[in-house]
Amino acid sequence: MAKADIPSTYDPRSVEDRWYPYWEKGGFFHAGVNPDQEPFCIVMPPPNVTGQLHMGHALDYTLQDILTRWRRMQGYSSLWVPGTDHAGIATQAKVEEQLAKEGTNRYELGREAFLERAWAWKEQYGSRITAQLRRLGASCDWQRERFTMDEGCSDAVREVFIKLFERGLIYRDYYITNWCPKCHTTISDIEVEHIEKPGHFWYLKYPFKDGEGHVIVATTRPETMLGDTAVAVHPDDERYTGLIGKMLVLPLVGREMPLIADEYVDPSFGTGAVKITPAHDPNDFEVGHRHGLEQIIVIDKEGKMSAEAGPRYQGLDRYDCRKKIVRDLEAGGYLLKTEDLSHGVGHCYRCNTVIEPMLSRQWFVKMKPLAEQAITAAKAGDVRFIPERFTKVYLGWMENIRDWCISRQLWWGHRIPVWYCKDCDEMIASKEPVSQCPKCGGTDLEQDPDVLDTWFSSALWPFSTLGWPKQTIELAYYYPTSVLVTGRDIIFFWVARMIFSGLAFMNDVPFRVVSIHGMVLDALGRKMSKSLGNGVDPIDVIESHGADSLRFMLVTSNTPGNDLRFNFEKLDGARNFANKLWNASRFVLMNLEDYEPGERHGQYTLADRWIISRYQNLTEEVTRLLESYELGEAARVLYEFIWNEFCDWYIELAKPRLYGKTTPQDRYTAQSVLTAVLKGTLELLHPFMPFITEEIWQHLPGKGLTIMRASWPVARKELSDPEAERQMGMLMEVTKAVRHIRSEMNVPPGKQVEAFLEVPQNASREVLERGTGYVQSLANAKVAIYDALPEKPEQAAHAVTRGVEVFVPLKGLIDIEQEAARLRKELAGLEKDLARVKGKLNNQGFLSKAPADVIEKERKKEDELTGKQTAIRERLSMLVGKNE
């Protein structure tokens, strides 16, 4: 084999820029239907076409890529379907921003021209995030890339709408929905983010018409009182016995309205009397339905007061109106008192504007019939959540589900396939455009102006991307898909909707496993956001540390279902790991100049048998952890093996046979073991760190087209050697004991020490005698073994491990007086620090006033300082005797 031409330092950028185009052009990501292979399929949670890669994406797609690369190497026909979402609200907002800069708007442009602009925006900017995914190393089948508004997905959306409409599961009605005054559209309940805000309770007098007394109500939104049509109390509330049915007069308005009884009212909350505003509160809407109350809309779609609010308030912003109404109520003697409170206020998840509950005519999906199947599937285990606790989260939402408002007042999106005949008011739902009314024959038709909720199309993603409603061979082969990897924050948005959609239209769940991960938080545990300015751009990290380091840091920080904190120290640690792997691999490759695979190796040493056995265990454990979706733990196991066992131990143990006076056969044996273990370990690591593993693998003898096409390693039980592991473990522990003494006592690295081992005649003694050479070379120590030392050496450091007593005489190695003086000085400073900490912890004032986390920090500091104190005293005792 020629001498390896591998650079002395690892440059992630040059490696990544070279290998990704090679993989993509080579078609190595492409998967096809193959009856001789097991299918494996993941559909990518489609990022918004407006978006750019953030840390949540980076984690999500790294986990998916690991699973896809692993299964591909195992011989599965592994398909990872990429795609983007049209992102109705977000994309329309981007285009409208452009129009505003040009001094125009969508209404002046017209719907058709606006949509042309939106498609142009998508073509110009929509590929940004897919280009960033390539930088991350995502091995998607880009030949199968989809878009939620491409021809096939659009056909699927229309098909589902018509089928649900024909089954009576889609209907149109007036209902309270969440209206965003800035985005000018409804949003669903789960798209409302409730943020805790300071507010007030205003207590108001509503007088009876007959002038005999009043009822007191409390409200957080006095501006909505202009739309009140009743006051409700609980039927069993004795305070209001005899008053139910009497008429009240609405303050400031003068409208007469009844005092009604309804079990919705909680008599223990507030005054036990509740103002009812059917057009501006979902609960009041239900009460109004039960009692036949009038619905008066007093806040319009701009968040301003409507004509129904009366001339005094019409046109005011809702919050300006609130201030004016409070002043007017106080002036009229209707305001009794005001209390401060903190309460959850609903905000639009897109633009952070406070949403307005508003009565409007919208399209809905009846959810109860669809939810029943989805609940049954989860309870039967047809779809499994990892971690299991998320099954309860999912079921809790599905069992209390409300009808889904699917219409949005936008132009960008899937337009609702319903037409209205202006001649006879007939409503026609059709997949194809309608030009003539089937009822009256009229041609004056108008299509519904609204579009469907973006989640309506993404709910079909697992089967629409595989060709449905056409019965394609891909659909038959890959559906149900294998696993969905996604964040816990979209279980309701997306996961649940895909499950009931798959059951409704494919008669099977869309995936067998849902692997849930948490959110990526900043170092302080806060959600990353633009407002906090605490986001970390994955592309910046890839530029500075490389994609492999970012991927490895994210996966090793991740445990299923739990949030993780972005940690720059761990990121640096991942880069150090990549450099460690590079340097170790370079050492191996530089020592293969005379190596030709296939030659007969000599007898394996204990170290050879140990590392081969440890590699078999590694292979089995990594595979088991991946099967269990413990991806972070699998990565950590690989890290420990590569850094500690392979790099720090085996390479060092092999060096004498590579450099020293040895036979060609012994050298070849060391080369063959190094090569085999390195190659297999790179293949195990490849799904986690694809770039560096490809680069090193290509330099090894016997390379192929790509490491992606290598077979996933399989543990060979016959090579597992527990006895070699036990023996090597003992030698390593003794070596570490000597190394520890050298380090603790500041023995210069170049100085050889004497190590006296006291061990009785037994199996351990035999192991140590045979393995003395390992200890001597790795600890730079001259080793002598005794049943029992004739006398304990003076001024010797001492350790006990695995039943072996280790003594290292220090005389002549270090200046004992100087070292003792240094230790006494260190001990004095440490004892001052310890006294200060103990003083705090014995101070009742500190304990009563300090936060719990501060007290706990001091206690940990006390434990740490006490441990250091004990260790230094023991070292002094070794040097100068027990009286120190």
Per-residue pLDDT tens over the stretch 371-395? 999 999 999 999 999 999 999 999 9
The DSSP bridge pattern shows strands 781-786 and 185-187 to be unpaired
- Binding site listing: 530
Evaluate if residue 50 carries a pLDDT over 90.
no
Closest CA to 531 of 199, 302, 195: 195
Structure tokens at 294: 């009038």
Q: What is the pLDDT of residue 1?
A: 53
Side chain identity at residue 216, one-letter code: I
CA distance 161 to 544: 48
Q: What is the pLDDT of residue 815?
A: 66
Closest CA to 461 of 153, 63, 122: 153
Half-sphere exposure of 488 (CA within 13 A, CB side): 18
pLDDT band at 600 (very low <50, low <70, confident <90, very high): low
Structure tokens at 865: 């300082």
Q: What is the pLDDT of residue 661?
A: 76
Identify the residue whose tokens are 């005379």.
Answer: 594
Q: What is the pLDDT of residue 205?
A: 95
Evaluate if residue 132 carries a pLDDT over 90.
yes
Helix, strand or coil, per DSSP, at residue 529 = coil
- Name the DSSP letter for residue 493: I
- Name the DSSP letter for residue 285: H
Q: Across residues 353-358, what is the average pLDDT?
A: 88
CA distance 637 to 631: 10
Evaluate if residue 2 carries a pLDDT over 60.
no
Q: Across residues 97-109, what is the average pLDDT?
A: 93
Residue scoring higher pLDDT (880 or 606) = 606
Structure tokens at 21: 């185009």
CA distance 419 to 416: 9
Dihedral (CA of 734, 739, 742, 744) sign: negative
Chain centroid, CA 673 distance in Å: 39
Residues 404-430 pLDDT 10s: 989 998 999 999 999 999 999 999 999
Q: What is the pLDDT of residue 790?
A: 81
Domain ranges of the chain: 185-357, 567-720, 725-814, 817-880
Side chain identity at residue 415, one-letter code: R
On average, the pLDDT of the chain sits at 91
The DSSP bridge pattern shows strands 451-452 and 407-408 to be antiparallel
Close Cβ partners of 22 (under 8 Å, ≥ 6 residues apart): 706
Q: What is the pLDDT of residue 3?
A: 58
Evaluate if residue 865 carries a pLDDT over 90.
no
CA distance 424 to 420: 9
pLDDT band at 881 (very low <50, low <70, confident <90, very high): low
Evaluate if residue 293 carries a pLDDT over 80.
yes
Closest CA to 71 of 560, 708, 716: 708
The DSSP bridge pattern shows strands 418-421 and 427-429 to be antiparallel
Close Cβ partners of 98 (under 8 Å, ≥ 6 residues apart): 117, 121
First to last CA, the chain: 61
Evaluate if residue 188 carries a pLDDT over 60.
yes
Alpha helices per DSSP H over 745-851: 763-770, 772-779, 816-841, 844-849
Q: What is the pLDDT of residue 268?
A: 87
CATH T-level assignment (fold) for domain 567-720:
Isoleucyl-tRNA Synthetase; Domain 1 (1.10.730)
CA distance 153 to 496: 19
CA distance 570 to 567: 5
Residue scoring higher pLDDT (355 or 482) = 482
Identify the residue whose tokens are 């089954």.
Answer: 167
Other C-beta atoms within 10 Å of 727: how many? 21
- Please check whether the domain covering 185-357 is classified as CATH 1.10.357.140: no
CATH number among 3.20.20, 1.10.287, 1.10.357, 1.10.1060, domain 817-880 = 1.10.287
- Name the DSSP letter for residue 855: H
Structure tokens at 174: 């007036």
Q: Across residues 801-811, what is the average pLDDT?
A: 83
The helix/strand count (H/E) of the chain reads as 29, 29
Alpha helices per DSSP H over 126-249: 128-136, 151-166
Evaluate if residue 823 carries a pLDDT over 70.
yes
Q: Across residues 263-288, what is the average pLDDT?
A: 91
Q: What is the pLDDT of residue 476?
A: 97
CA distance 45 to 516: 12
Evaluate if residue 875 carries a pLDDT over 80.
no
Q: What is the pLDDT of residue 807?
A: 85
Side chain identity at residue 324, one-letter code: K
Residue scoring higher pLDDT (824 or 657) = 657
- Binding site listing for ATP: 530
Q: What is the pLDDT of residue 346?
A: 87
Q: Identify any residues that bridge with 675 across adjacent strands, giving them in sequence order.
A: none
Residues 232-256 pLDDT 10s: 999 999 899 889 999 999 999 999 9
Q: Across residues 732-737, what is the average pLDDT?
A: 92
Please give the model's pTM, rounded to 2 decimal places: 0.84
